[in-house]
């Protein structure tokens, strides 16, 4: 099918913050030829290329200059059993498939390992960008390779997990390969035997009264229930989930943070990482700065979840992206002043501030 390029396209329906920014150029690609055509178009006009999935991890601060390519590649394929290790199956998901739908689909096939990542919004291709993670599991635990198209040369390349350089909410696609490639498919190694991971405290507690080991479907359902009880649905209240990464601070800094709260008898939450550094929940820090429920212009901090910034303005007008980023900057300043901790923004920001 020939490629349709749209001009001055409104992206409000293409990002979960529902920001009404416009893309100078926009196209939707559903096969490899269309990707090549889109890249050729961008090159002919010297346009920046911005791949887009479900828009659940982007903040469109203003109109976007360049060609936004919406990835709509679909399909799931399974590698021959003879090639894969015993008790596992290698499954390739095209970039445009919806993450949660694929978690449910995998469960139905008897392929396990994705349960703890249930209900994360977004598409398969984008999952690798920040190495999505939740409830004790990260994409890097199950991904074995992925395919990318190099934006400059148009070449199709395969990257192994090692080459993706995954770490907490990070990968090579946020570092040396930032803006350099389009992920077209990811291959995950899933288990054909149930793998139950209940290490994450909220999940452990969920099954406190359960005597038998839960099934993978029960774990998925539990994760969905916990997530629904904690996070606002972007369809009802536009948001991008966690707005800040959880900072990892040195053991010495964590001790001094604990001392800061000693007098008030408050226990500072912290999770010791390998190497001794401590991960502190960013939401807790934001809450300590009294931002929960605060509203500035069209932006707000969710009333129950301090880590989630929301857009209260669903009209096509106003500087909502700037309001969101202004509020985020105020939070960062306050947290830095109070705790000497720098909060990093998790979603990718596009457009000018």
Binding-site ranges for ligand FAD (CB under 6 A): 16, 50-58, 71, 95, 120-123, 125-127, 129-130, 132-134, 182-183, 231, 234, 239-241, 348
Q: Rounded to the nearest 5°, which phi and psi values hold at 110?
A: 85, 30
287 is catalytic: no
Whole-number Å distance between alpha carbons of 175 and 196: 32
296 contacts: CB under 8 Å, gap ≥ 6 = 323, 326, 327, 330
Residue pair 82/14 in contact (Cβ under 8 Å)? The answer is no
DSSP state of 169: T
Task: Rank residues 55 and 270 by Cβ distance to ligand FAD and give the closer one.
Answer: 55
Task: Rank residues 240 and 249 by Cβ distance to ligand FAD and give the closer one.
Answer: 240
Helix (H, G, I), strand (E, B) or coil at 147: strand
Task: Rank residues 121 and 283 by Cβ distance to ligand FAD and give the closer one.
Answer: 121
Task: Rank residues 29 and 257 by Cβ distance to ligand FAD and give the closer one.
Answer: 29
CB of residue 149 to ligand FAD, shortest distance in Å: 9
Task: Rank residues 257 and 299 by Cβ distance to ligand FAD and give the closer one.
Answer: 299
> How many C-beta atoms lie closer than 10 Å to residue 87's C-beta?
10
Encode 104-135: b = buried (16+ Cβ within 10 Å), e = exposed: bbbbeeebbbbbbbbbbbbbbbbbbbbbbbbb
Residue pair 136/199 in contact (Cβ under 8 Å)? The answer is yes
Q: Which of 115, 138, 185, 346 is catalytic?
A: 346
CB of residue 16 to ligand FAD, shortest distance in Å: 5
CB of residue 15 to ligand FAD, shortest distance in Å: 7
> How many C-beta atoms lie closer than 10 Å to residue 8's C-beta?
10
Q: Which of 88, 220, 242, 298 is catalytic?
A: 242
DSSP state of 269: P
> How many C-beta atoms lie closer than 10 Å to residue 245's C-beta?
17
Residue pair 95/125 in contact (Cβ under 8 Å)? The answer is yes
199 is catalytic: no
Whole-number Å distance between alpha carbons of 74 and 249: 41
CB of residue 323 to ligand FAD, shortest distance in Å: 18
22 is catalytic: no
CB of residue 125 to ligand FAD, shortest distance in Å: 3
Task: Rank residues 254 and 283 by Cβ distance to ligand FAD and give the closer one.
Answer: 283
Q: Which of 97, 118, 169, 298 is catalytic?
A: 169
CB of residue 192 to ligand FAD, shortest distance in Å: 25
Name which of 74, 55, 102, 60 is nearest 234 in CA terms.
55
Whole-number Å distance between alpha carbons of 10 and 23: 6
Helix (H, G, I), strand (E, B) or coil at 52: strand
Active site residues per annotation? 169, 242, 346
């Amino acid at each position: 099918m020939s490629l349709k390029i749209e001009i001055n396209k409104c992206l409000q329906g293409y990002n979960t913050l529902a920001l009404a920014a416009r893309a100078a150029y926009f196209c939707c690609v559903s096969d490899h030829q269309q990707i090549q055509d889109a890249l050729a178009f961008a090159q002919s006009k010297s346009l920046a290329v911005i791949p887009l999935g479900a828009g659940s991890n982007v903040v469109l601060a203003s109109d976007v200059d360049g060609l936004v390519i919406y990835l709509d590649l679909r399909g799931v394929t399974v590698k021959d059993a003879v090639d894969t290790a015993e008790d596992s199956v290698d499954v390739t998901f095209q970039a445009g498939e919806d993450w949660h739908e694929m978690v449910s689909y995998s469960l139905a096939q008897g392929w396990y390992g994705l349960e703890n990542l249930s209900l994360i919004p977004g598409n398969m291709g984008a999952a690798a960008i920040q190495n999505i993670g939740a409830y004790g599991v990260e994409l890097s635990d199950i991904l074995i390779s992925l395919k990318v198209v190099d934006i400059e040369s148009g070449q199709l390349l395969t990257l192994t997990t090692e080459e993706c350089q995954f770490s907490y909410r990070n990968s090579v696609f946020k570092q040396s390969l930032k803006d350099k490639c389009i992920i077209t498919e990811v291959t995950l190694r899933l288990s054909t035997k149930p793998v139950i991971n209940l290490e994450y405290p909220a999940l452990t507690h969920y099954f406190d009264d359960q005597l038998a080991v839960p099934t993978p479907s029960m774990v998925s359902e539990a994760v969905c229930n916990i997530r629904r009880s904690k996070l606002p649905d972007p369809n009802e209240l536009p948001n991008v989930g966690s707005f800040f990464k959880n900072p990892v601070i040195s053991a010495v800094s964590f001790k001094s943070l604990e001392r800061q709260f000693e007098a008030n008898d408050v226990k500072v939450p912290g999770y010791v990482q390998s190497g001794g550094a401590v991960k502190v929940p960013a939401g807790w820090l934001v809450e300590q700065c009294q931002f929960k429920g605060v509203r500035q212009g069209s932006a707000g901090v969710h009333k129950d979840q301090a880590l989630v910034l929301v857009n209260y303005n669903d009209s096509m007008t106003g500087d909502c992206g700037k309001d969101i980023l202004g509020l985020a900057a105020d939070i960062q300043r306050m947290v830095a002043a109070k705790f000497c901790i720098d909060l990093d923004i998790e979603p990718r920001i596009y457009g000018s501030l």
